[in-house]
A and B are shown apart, each in its own frame.
Chain A
Amino acid sequence: MKKALSLLLVCAMTFSLAACGSKESGTTTPAEDNSQTEADAQPEGDAQPEGETEAPAASDGAVFKIGGIGPTTGGAAVYGIAVQRGAQIAVDEINAAGGINGVQIEFNFQDDEHDPEKSVNAYNTLKDWGMQVLVGTVTSNPCIAVVEKTHEDNMFQLTPSGTAVKCVQYDNAFRMCFSDPNQGLESAKYIGENGLATKVAVIYDNSDPYSQGIYDAFRAEAANQNIEIVAETSFNSDNKTDFSTAVQSAKSAGAELLYMPFYYTEASLVLAECSKQSYKPVFFGVDGMDGILSVENFDVTLAEDLMYMAPFVANSDDEQVKSFVTKYQESFNEIPNQFAADAYDCVYVVKAAMEEAGVTADMDASAICDAMVGAMTAISYDGITGKQISWEANGEPNKAPLVVQIKNGETIGL
């Protein structure tokens, strides 16, 4: 009994120490140090390139506090980590170039493990930290939960990759990526207009609003495009290892194209199953397919000729893309995916909207939000996930969709 008690005490002590440690390390980020010196230097320094800034705002060492939320652990960690890294590159670039309106950015990214409840907790943590603008959240379900909170607090929110319709259902929220229905609609159009197939089989995840949302829009548009859906199979988050039935029903229905509106982990299983059953339709996926080539030990020949909708191609000739990809590779030793690219663009869009609205660092989150919401519909942004992107008041971006194909283990734009 005594032993247990002392053990408990030791545990409690370690925890409290650990908590202290993390708090301390949280308050002295290099970014803040950096901004402090920059801002201190500002009043007397004339080296600031930005002419139109409201200089007094930055006089007391103020910074723009931008928060980010996404899964950096758990099953969806790939996306959260990519977003965190992509955004960090943009923040570093902007800070090195003098910040937004001469004010440095401080960026704080919190883990939500792709869980709505934890996402709201992360949001509250960031609010306590003093966040003024939220770049996030990364995945749709948590995003839907967090947007309720940002709406209540009137906090400006720009999600890099929350594709569900409800992610931007309020005025304060915008998104960088395509919405789910938009992707479904565009892929049906693409298949129809390019005559890829008339008989299509669909496998989708009915436990995921992302997959379901895309498929609903696809099905609605398929009728207009003279596409017949000959087989339709669903799976769910508890039941996503066995695709033998799904592939077999697509095969026996004679589908020429297999539409796969879901993520690449399951896609790698579906492709393996198709090869096992020697079934070779045209494979067509959505942006969740991005990353399939980076699955460790994946036999890339299985994905040969796979087409999917993607806003970003890492080996494009575009100068902005090249520079981003080089920096990302230098820092993290891997090729960035579209989530990293979306996040990178997000931070620059926040910058563009802030400059358009002329917000200052001493404004509170709500005032910044009001100013930026107005500015969002006025800006036109050239980034790495599209050119001349503009936004509707409902939060949706206007940009051209891009279809890519995998050839010889590489992604090429079509």
Chain B
Amino acid sequence: MMGFISYLVNGISLGSVYAIIALGYTMVYGIAKMLNFAHGDVIMIGGFVVFTTVSGMGLPPVIGILISVVVCTVLGMLIERIAYKPLRKASKLAVLITAIGVSYFLQNVALLIYGSNTKSFTSVVSITPISLADGAIIISGETIVTIVACIIIMIALTAFIKYSKSGRAMLAVSEDSGAAQLMGVNVNATIALTFAIGSALAAIAGVLLCSSYPALTPYTGAMPGIKAFVAAVFGGIGSIPGAFIGGILLGVIEILGKAYISSQLADAIVFAVLIVVLLVKPTGLLGKQIQEKV
């Protein structure tokens, strides 16, 4: 039983990281209708910025995280401006391939700057772990911070979209960008804002990911990025609560599958669940009903 609770907590922690990354995917997809495969690599850049500022230059972690958020936000907007905006009228496939190109570009730039040697990331969390039931369950500070951060981000983002002017503009663009433009919404600015928010989230995800799993390489963001994309599809791509639920479920299924069924089949189980969900509900758990207009 103690074991189960421990596994569950680890699963929620892993799932929270997936959820934060998935939020970035899902927002960009919802608004720009494109899959930003470079998102995972922005996470890696965020991790490296914190590594450089905190471990390298000795700045306090909070400053490091702030710098990382700023760098990633600017990077995200730059990527959007240089690589995606000129292709807004091009076919979706072209944008997709460009995104993959940007992803490789970022990986190789990091490889040039930092080399391929693994860097050990010093956790930015200094909360002492909680020990329950005589040490049978140990919840680390990273786990607590990750889960709390994920919930705060989720609530803040939902509130932002519901109640702020730019948030509602995002909603309008995601429903019908043409009509939104006619109603006076600046579509380009809204898309840029989406990338900015998504990339800022990526920076935070990078810090949390690297604090929990402290090995940093230029390829660190790639796999969690893909998993988070799966989480976004699982929850219903385009839906913010969907990304949250999808991320958490993915993490929990992965960890429990590893613990109780087979560590060899963990990924297979995750994807089997995904397939079943998509068969029953093709738009994902919280995906909206098809709203294609003729």
Who on chain A is nearest to B121 by CB?
Answer: A297
A239 is contacted by which of B129, B219, B223 (Cβ under 8 Å)? B223
Taking A239-B266, A295-B118 as contacts, is the C-beta distance between A245 and B224 under 8 angstroms?
no
Is A74 part of the contact surface with B, judged by Cβ < 8 Å? yes
Is B120 part of the contact surface with A, judged by Cβ < 8 Å? yes
Is A408 part of the contact surface with B, judged by Cβ < 8 Å? no
Q: Which residues from 192 to 245 on chain A have a C-beta closer than 8 Å to any C-beta of chain B?
A: 206, 233-236, 238-242, 244-245
Alpha-carbon gap, A227 to B259, bound state (A): 23
Taking A73-B111, A239-B223 as contacts, is the C-beta distance between A276 and B259 under 8 angstroms?
no
Who on chain B is nearest to A296 by CB?
Answer: B119
Stretch in A56-64, A261-269, A376-384 with 4+ CB within 8 Å of B: A261-269
Once the chains bind, are B264 and A265 in contact (CB under 8 Å)? no
Once the chains bind, are B263 and A264 in contact (CB under 8 Å)? no
Once the chains bind, are B215 and A241 in contact (CB under 8 Å)? yes
Is A321 part of the contact surface with B, judged by Cβ < 8 Å? no
Cβ–Cβ < 8 Å partners of B138 in chain A: 276-278
Is A248 part of the contact surface with B, judged by Cβ < 8 Å? yes
**How far does the Cβ of B132 sit from chain A's closest Cβ, in whole Å?**
13
Cβ–Cβ < 8 Å partners of B55 in chain A: 297
Is A320 part of the contact surface with B, judged by Cβ < 8 Å? no
Once the chains bind, are A248 and B3 in contact (CB under 8 Å)? yes
Cβ–Cβ < 8 Å partners of A248 in chain B: 3, 6-7, 10, 259
Once the chains bind, are A78 and B122 in contact (CB under 8 Å)? no
Alpha-carbon gap, A240 to B224, bound state (A): 10
Cβ–Cβ < 8 Å partners of A268 in chain B: 118, 120, 214-215
How does the 8 Å CB contact mask read for B203-220 relative to A, with 1 for contact and 0 for none? Answer: 000000100011101011
Cβ–Cβ < 8 Å partners of A236 in chain B: 264, 267
| Residue of A268, A269, A297 ringed by the most chain B CB atoms within 10 A | A297
A269 is contacted by which of B215, B226, B264 (Cβ under 8 Å)? B215
Is A294 part of the contact surface with B, judged by Cβ < 8 Å? yes
Is A252 part of the contact surface with B, judged by Cβ < 8 Å? yes
**How far does the Cβ of B146 sit from chain A's closest Cβ, in whole Å?**
12
Who on chain B is nearest to A80 by CB?
Answer: B116
Who on chain B is nearest to A294 by CB?
Answer: B117
Who on chain B is nearest to A264 by CB?
Answer: B118
Who on chain B is nearest to A238 by CB?
Answer: B223
**How far does the Cβ of B261 sit from chain A's closest Cβ, in whole Å?**
11
Taking A233-B258, A269-B215, A295-B120 as contacts, is the C-beta distance between A241 and B224 under 8 angstroms?
yes
Cβ–Cβ < 8 Å partners of A234 in chain B: 263-264
A-B contact count (CB 8 A): 98
Once the chains bind, are A297 and B116 in contact (CB under 8 Å)? no
Cβ–Cβ < 8 Å partners of B184 in chain A: none
Cβ–Cβ < 8 Å partners of B229 in chain A: none
B117 is contacted by which of A73, A246, A296 (Cβ under 8 Å)? A296
Is A185 part of the contact surface with B, judged by Cβ < 8 Å? no
**How far does the Cβ of B73 sit from chain A's closest Cβ, in whole Å?**
25
Alpha-carbon gap, A76 to B116, bound state (A): 7
**How far does the Cβ of B81 sit from chain A's closest Cβ, in whole Å?**
19
Is A121 part of the contact surface with B, judged by Cβ < 8 Å? no
Taking A249-B259, A296-B118, A297-B119 as contacts, is the C-beta distance between A276 and B140 under 8 angstroms?
yes
Alpha-carbon gap, A73 to B219, bound state (A): 12
Q: Which residues from 184 to 240 on chain B have a C-beta closer than 8 Å to any C-beta of chain A?
A: 209, 213-215, 217, 219-220, 223-224, 226
How does the 8 Å CB contact mask read for B1-26 relative to A, with 1 for contact and 0 for none? Answer: 00100110010011000000000000
Cβ–Cβ < 8 Å partners of B224 in chain A: 241
Once the chains bind, are B7 and A245 in contact (CB under 8 Å)? yes
**How far does the Cβ of B142 sit from chain A's closest Cβ, in whole Å?**
8
A74 is contacted by which of B116, B117, B215, B226 (Cβ under 8 Å)? B116
Is A272 part of the contact surface with B, judged by Cβ < 8 Å? yes
Once the chains bind, are A233 and B263 in contact (CB under 8 Å)? yes
Alpha-carbon gap, A239 to B227, bound state (A): 10
Alpha-carbon gap, A163 to B266, bound state (A): 28
A-B pairs with beta carbons under 8 Å apart, 28 shown: A78-B116, A206-B264, A233-B263, A236-B264, A239-B223, A240-B223, A241-B220, A242-B14, A244-B14, A245-B10, A245-B255, A245-B258, A245-B263, A246-B258, A246-B263, A248-B10, A265-B118, A272-B120, A276-B140, A294-B117, A295-B117, A295-B118, A295-B119, A295-B120, A296-B118, A297-B119, A297-B121, A299-B122
- Smallest CB-CB A-B distances: 8 pairs: A77-B116, A298-B120, A244-B10, A241-B213, A265-B118, A245-B258, A296-B119, A233-B263
Residues of A within 8 A of B (CB): 73-78, 206, 233-236, 238-242, 244-246, 248-249, 252, 264-266, 268-269, 272, 276-278, 294-299
